[in-house]
Amino acid sequence: DYGLGEADPEVRGIIDKEKERQFRSLELIASENFTSRAVMEAVGSCLTNKYSEGLPGKRYYGGNEYIDELEILCQERALAAFNLDGKQWGVNVQPLSGSPANFEVYTAVLNPHDRIMGLDLPHGGHLSHGFMTPKRRVSGTSIYFESMPYRLDESSGLVDYDMLEKTATLFRPKLIIAGASAYPRDFDYPRMRKIADAVGAFLMMDMAHISGLVAASVVANPFEYCDIVTTTTHKKRQMENEMQIFFDDFISIGLIKFNGNAFVQSLRGPRGGMIFFKKDPVLGVDLESAINNAVFPGLQGGPHNHTIGGLAVCLKHAKSPDFKAYQNKVVSNCRALASRLMELGYKLVSGGTDNHLVLVDLRPLGTDGARVEKILDMASITLNKNSVAGDKSALVPGGIRIGSPAMTTRGFSEKEFVTVADLINEGVQITLEAKRLVSGSKLQDFMKFVTSPEFPLI
Smallest distance from ligand PLP to CB 31, Å: 5
Smallest distance from ligand PLP to CB 201, Å: 19
Are 91 and 79 a contacting pair, CB within 8 Å? yes
Q: How far is CA 187 from the centre of its chain?
A: 16
CA distance 202 to 229: 11
CA distance 127 to 120: 8
Specify the residue, 208 or 372, whose C-beta has the smaller distance to ligand PLP.
208
Catalytic residue among 53, 114, 186, 242: 53
* 232 flagged as catalytic: yes
Smallest distance from ligand PLP to CB 127, Å: 8
Smallest distance from ligand PLP to CB 100, Å: 7
* 106 flagged as catalytic: no
* 431 flagged as catalytic: no
CA distance 403 to 162: 29
Q: Are strands 58-59 and 54-55 parallel, antiparallel or unpaired?
A: antiparallel
Find the residue with minimal CB distance to ligand PLP.
98
Catalytic residue among 167, 230, 231, 232: 232
* 363 flagged as catalytic: no
Catalytic residue among 27, 146, 206, 391: 206
Specify the residue, 139 or 333, whose C-beta has the smaller distance to ligand PLP.
139
Catalytic residue among 235, 329, 340, 410: 235
Q: Are strands 381-382 and 54-55 parallel, antiparallel or unpaired?
A: unpaired
Smallest distance from ligand PLP to CB 126, Å: 4
At 133, phi and psi to the nearest 5? -110, 170
What torsion do the CA atoms of 269, 185, 333, 97 make, to the nearest 10 degrees?
10
Letter for the amino acid at 200?
G
Q: 100: cis peptide before it, omega within 30°?
A: no
Binding site for ligand PLP (CB under 6 A): 31, 97-99, 126, 128, 179-181, 206, 208-209, 232
* Longest Cα separation, the chain: 83
Q: Within 300-404, where are the H helices?
A: 305-317, 322-343, 369-378
Specify the residue, 204 or 216, whose C-beta has the smaller distance to ligand PLP.
204
CA distance 190 to 226: 9
Active site residues: 51, 53, 206, 232, 235, 271
